[in-house]
């Protein structure tokens, strides 16, 4: 087994982002800004928000945090988002998910200006991703794509793993992870199978794949029976168990196989926040271009 070091790839990328932010400051006297919105006080969400704010500070990105009461109505959340849309110091808006009390998150996400949609969850950006024909097009057009899937592809590229022509199975079809990741792998010319809870013969399907991505949300779900020799295994899962933080892959069960694998923690997790910083820079540049095109 060979570990794919997401932590190292992530810290290298953060150093590049920090340099880019410093250059922007020097050339434009502007500081890219990210607003985070937390509704309620879910302990895991608090930890994520704290890490996001800290990462912004480290990179020189200005952060603006808003904490709304857990009982806030959908209208109150949307009103705050609209205010953030109007704030010229803010380039990106991140609404921390999940929202409490099963509030319809998509309706709130739809209120985020597509130009500030650093999570890539607005229908406009999700649509651009689906319409794009290649990875180059996604990069050249600065399309805002959901951070975790973007992080996974970055990890694959930086690890020298060739995606083109490979068979990739993505277990999970959420709007946040599975769907956008499948589109990104397709744009990288993989043959993609998107699996879900109704998929039959999942083990056999995975066993035939060169790349297996587990984004299921079930600890140790993927074991030896899912993986072929030589496969690349990307574990997106973050599950809090009595044994501690645990991925969707049963790491101990596969660790003696001849595979490449991202660990949990230290694999995909750090890349998600790094891609949030990257998307904030993209949003800054997209807004700058958009606003200058609007000038008479």
The reply, when asked if residue 174 is annotated as ligand binding, is: yes
Q: Hey, which residues does 249 pair with through a beta bridge?
A: 222
Q: Does 203 bind ligand NAP (CB under 6 A)?
A: no
Task: Out of 92, 114, 180, 237, name the contact with ligand NAP by CB under 6 A.
Answer: 237
Task: Quote the CA–CA distance of 210 and 188 in Å, as a whole number.
Answer: 14
The C-alpha atoms of residue 162 and residue 210 are separated, in whole angstroms, by 10
**197 with 225: CB under 8 angstroms?**
no
Between 218 and 288, CB nearer to ligand NAP? 218
Check whether 230 is labelled as a binding-site residue: no
Among 176, 192, 209, 275, binds ligand NAP (CB under 6 A): 176
Handedness of CA 239, 248, 93, 8 (dihedral sign): positive
Minimal distance in Å, beta carbon 177 to ligand NAP? Answer: 4
52 is annotated as an active-site residue: yes
Which of helix, strand or coil describes residue 244? strand
Stretch that binds ligand NAP, among 53-61, 68-76, 184-192, 194-202 (CB under 6 A): 194-202
**Is 74 a known active-site residue?**
no
Asked if 121 and 147 count as a contact pair (C-beta separation under 8 A), the reply is: no
Give the separation between CA 152 and CA 134, rounded to whole angstroms.
Answer: 16
The answer to whether the CB of 187 falls within 8 A of the CB of 132 is yes
Total residues at the site for ligand NAP (CB under 6 A)? 26
* Residue 172 in the binding site for ligand NAP (CB under 6 A): yes
Q: Please tell me whether 172 is known to bind a ligand.
A: yes
Q: Which of residues 267-286 bind ligand NAP (CB under 6 A)?
A: 268-269, 272
Q: Is 133 in the site for ligand NAP (CB under 6 A)?
A: no
Is 191 near ligand NAP (CB under 6 A)?
no
C-beta closer to ligand NAP: residue 87 or 197: 197
Q: Which of 5, 91, 117, 119 is catalytic?
A: 119
* Interface pick for ligand NAP out of 153, 155, 171, 231 (rule CB under 6 A): 171
Given candidates 17, 144, 177, 232, which one binds ligand NAP under the rule CB under 6 A? 177
d(CA 20, CA 271): 17
CB 19 within 8 A of CB 275: no
Estimate the crossing angle of helix 147-158 against helix 178-187, to 10 degrees. 40
Which window, 109-117, 135-143, 155-163, 215-223, contacts ligand NAP (CB under 6 A)? 215-223
When asked if residue 178 is in the footprint of ligand NAP (CB under 6 A), the reply is yes
- Residues, the chain, total? 296
| Angstrom distance (rounded) from CA 170 to CA 192 | 7
Known binding positions for NADP(+): 172-174, 238
């Amino acid at each position: 087994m060979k570990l794919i070091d997401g932590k190292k790839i992530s810290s290298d990328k953060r150093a590049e982002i920090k340099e880019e932010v410093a250059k922007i400051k020097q050339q434009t006297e502007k500081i890219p800004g990210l607003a985070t919105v937390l509704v309620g006080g879910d302990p895991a969400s608090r930890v994520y928000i704290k890490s996001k704010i800290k990462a912004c500070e480290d990179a020189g990105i200005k952060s603006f945090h808003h904490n709304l009461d857990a009982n806030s109505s959908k209208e109150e959340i949307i009103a705050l988002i609209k205010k953030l849309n109007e704030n010229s110091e803010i380039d990106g808006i991140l609404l921390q998910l999940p929202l409490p009390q099963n509030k319809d998150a998509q309706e709130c996400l739809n209120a985020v200006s597509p130009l500030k949609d650093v999570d890539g969850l607005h229908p406009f950006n999700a649509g651009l991703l689906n319409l794009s024909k290649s990875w180059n097009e996604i990069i050249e057009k600065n399309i805002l794509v959901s951070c975790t899937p973007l992080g996974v592809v970055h990890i694959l590229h930086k690890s020298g793993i060739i995606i083109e022509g490979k068979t990739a199975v993505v277990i999970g079809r959420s709007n946040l992870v599975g769907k956008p990741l499948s589109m990104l792998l397709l744009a990288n010319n993989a043959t993609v199978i998107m699996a879900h809870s109704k998929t039959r013969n999942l083990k056999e399907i995975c066993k035939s794949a060169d790349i297996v991505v587990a984004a299921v949300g079930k600890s140790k779900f993927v074991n030896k029976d899912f993986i072929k020799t030589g496969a690349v295994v990307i574990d997106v899962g973050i599950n809090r168990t009595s044994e501690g933080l645990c991925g969707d892959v049963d790491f101990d069960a596969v660790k003696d196989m001849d595979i490449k694998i991202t660990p949990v923690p230290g694999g995909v997790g750090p890349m998600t926040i790094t891609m949030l910083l990257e998307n904030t820079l993209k949003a800054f540049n997209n807004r700058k271009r958009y606003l200058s095109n609007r000038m008479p």
